[in-house]
C-alpha cells in the first residue's frame, strides 16, 4: 500500500508511491528469488486516493497519473485504490481537509481516479473491468 508514510513531509505522494513500490519490488526479488520482471508482475500497488488519514498526505489525480505511467513502464501486476466509493468530490458542508469515508477531499469528477489508474488511463481503450471478470492480467 502506498499510503500512510507516518510523519508527513508535505512532498509528492506520487514520488512516495513510486519509491515504496520500488522498495517492495526489491524485497520480492530478494526474499522470493524472483527475476526483475517476475517481481514487478507479482507486485500490487494500492493508493489511498485524495486526502489521506495522515495529516499533509493528499494523493492527487496527478499522482495517480504518475503512478500509472510508472506501473505501466515496469510491468506492475496490479494497480488499485484503497476504496472506490471515495472516488468522488465531497459535497458542500463536508470538511474535505481531513480524510472522509465517502469522498476524496479533492476537486474531481466522479470516477476520475479510476480513469487515471486504469489501463485506459482516461483515454479510449478496453472497457472497465467488473468484479466477475476474474484476476486482472498484468498491466500493459
Q: Determine the pLDDT at residue 8.
A: 54
Q: State how far the Cα of 80 lies from the Cα of 82, in Å rounded to an integer.
A: 7
Q: Is residue 2 part of a domain?
A: no
Q: Is residue 140 part of a domain?
A: no
Q: State how far the Cα of 88 lies from the Cα of 91, in Å rounded to an integer.
A: 9
Radius of gyration in angstroms for the set of CA atoms belonging to the chain, rounded to a whole number: 15
- What is this structure's pTM? 0.80
What H or E segment, with its residue span, contains residue 30?
A: helix 13-32
Concatenated DSSP letters for 56-91? T-EE-HHHHHHHHHHHHHHT-SEEEES-GGG-SPPP
**Percent of the chain at pLDDT exceeding 90:** 65
Span 63-82, pLDDT tens digits:
999 999 999 999 999 999 99
Q: State how far the Cα of 24 lies from the Cα of 46, in Å rounded to an integer.
A: 12
Q: Is residue 60 part of a domain?
A: yes
Q: Determine the pLDDT at residue 74.
A: 96
Q: Determine the pLDDT at residue 120.
A: 57
Q: Is residue 128 part of a domain?
A: no
Q: Is residue 114 part of a domain?
A: yes
| Residue for grid cell 472497465 | 128
Q: Is residue 101 part of a domain?
A: yes
Q: How many domains does the chain have?
A: 1
Q: Other C-beta atoms within 10 Å of 41: how many?
A: 19
Q: State how far the Cα of 28 lies from the Cα of 39, in Å rounded to an integer.
A: 6
Q: How confident is the model at residue 134 (pLDDT cuts 50, 70, 90)?
A: very low
pLDDT at 29 over 50: yes
Q: Determine the pLDDT at residue 54.
A: 84
Contact 3, 52 (CB under 8 A): yes
Q: How confident is the model at residue 36 (pLDDT cuts 50, 70, 90)?
A: very high
Q: Is residue 74 part of a domain?
A: yes
Name residues whose C-beta falls within 8 Å of residue 140's C-beta, 6 or more positions apart in sequence.
72, 119
105 lies in which domain range?
A: 13-122
All three cell numbers of 69: 505511467
pLDDT at 11 over 90: no
Q: Determine the pLDDT at residue 53.
A: 85
Q: Is residue 131 part of a domain?
A: no
pLDDT at 138 over 50: no
Amino acid at each position: 500500500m502506498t499510503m500512510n508514510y507516518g510523519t508527513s513531509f508535505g512532498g509528492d505522494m506520487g514520488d512516495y508511491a513510486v519509491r515504496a513500490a520500488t522498495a517492495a519490488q526489491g524485497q520480492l526479488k530478494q526474499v522470493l528469488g524472483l527475476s526483475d520482471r517476475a517481481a514487478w508482475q507479482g507486485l500490487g500497488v494500492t493508493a489511498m486516493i485524495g486526502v489521506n488519514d495522515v495529516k499533509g498526505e493528499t494523493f492527487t489525480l496527478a499522482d495517480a497519473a504518475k503512478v500509472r505511467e510508472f506501473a505501466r513502464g515496469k510491468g506492475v501486476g496490479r494497480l488499485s485504490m484503497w476504496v472506490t466509493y471515495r472516488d468522488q468530490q465531497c459535497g458542500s458542508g463536508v470538511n474535505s481537509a481531513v480524510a472522509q469515508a465517502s469522498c476524496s477531499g479533492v476537486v474531481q469528477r466522479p470516477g476520475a481516479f479510476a480513469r487515471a489508474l486504469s489501463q485506459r488511463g482516461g483515454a479510449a481503450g478496453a472497457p472497465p473491468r467488473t468484479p466477475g471478470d476474474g484476476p486482472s492480467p498484468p498491466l500493459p
